[in-house]
């Protein structure tokens, strides 16, 4: 399947989360299905989108799932991923959570998905 590259990110929070995600060991940016995702060893740990006037973030949150789902704009991720602790947030301009909170989601998701050795190498375990 050929990747369809989505438009470049422009939202400042999306750009910050992208930079953070790519700092983790063996993290890669890929574009399956035309979506922007971040993977470690072939496994997705972050979905990121800032098109259509919103910021979209999808992450696996085994510890903070219940808290995240209480936030406006957050729902269990579709395609059955919500049952595995994945949360999708869709935030219109002005409603975005603080970048520090979303950065903690990226970290938690990386730790949940990455092999333990990589989490430890990253200093995140």
Give the pLDDT score at 52. 83
86, 92, 97, 100 alpha-carbon torsion, rounded to 10°: 80
Give the pLDDT score at 82. 92
* Residue 26, Ramachandran bin (φ over 0: left; ψ between -120 and 50: alpha; else beta): left
Rounded to whole angstroms, the Cα distance separating 5 from 104 reads: 26
Please say whether the dihedral angle defined by the alpha carbons of residues 4, 101, 97 and 90, taken in this order, is positive or negative.
positive
Count of helices and strands (H, E) across the chain: 4, 6
Number of domains the chain is built from: 1
Q: Which domain holds residue 111?
A: 12-121
2 found inside a domain = no
Give the pLDDT score at 98. 96
Per-position pLDDT tens, the chain of length 125? 556 888 899 999 999 999 999 999 999 999 998 899 999 999 999 999 998 889 999 999 999 999 999 999 999 999 999 999 999 999 999 999 999 999 999 999 999 999 998 987 765 44
104 found inside a domain = yes
50 found inside a domain = yes
Buried b (16+ CB within 10 A) or exposed e, 12-44: ebbebbbebbeebbebeeeeeeebbbbbbeeeb
State pLDDT tens for residues 61-90: 999 999 999 999 999 999 999 999 999 999
Given a contact cutoff of 8 angstroms between Cβ atoms, the answer to whether 59 and 86 are in contact is yes
4 found inside a domain = no
5 found inside a domain = no
């Amino acid at each position: 399947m050929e990747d369809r590259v989505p438009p470049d990110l422009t939202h400042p929070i999306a750009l910050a989360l992208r930079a953070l995600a790519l700092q983790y060991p063996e993290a890669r940016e890929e574009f399956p299905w035309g979506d922007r995702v971040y993977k470690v060893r072939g496994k997705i740990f972050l979905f990121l989108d800032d098109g259509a006037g919103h910021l979209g973030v999808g992450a696996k949150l085994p510890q903070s799932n219940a808290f995240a789902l209480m936030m406006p704009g957050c729902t269990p991720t579709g395609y059955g991923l919500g049952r595995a602790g994945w949360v999708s947030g869709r935030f219109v301009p002005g409603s975005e959570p603080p970048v520090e909170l979303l950065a903690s989601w990226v970290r938690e998701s990386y730790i949940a998905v990455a092999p333990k050795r990589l989490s430890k190498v990253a200093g995140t375990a």
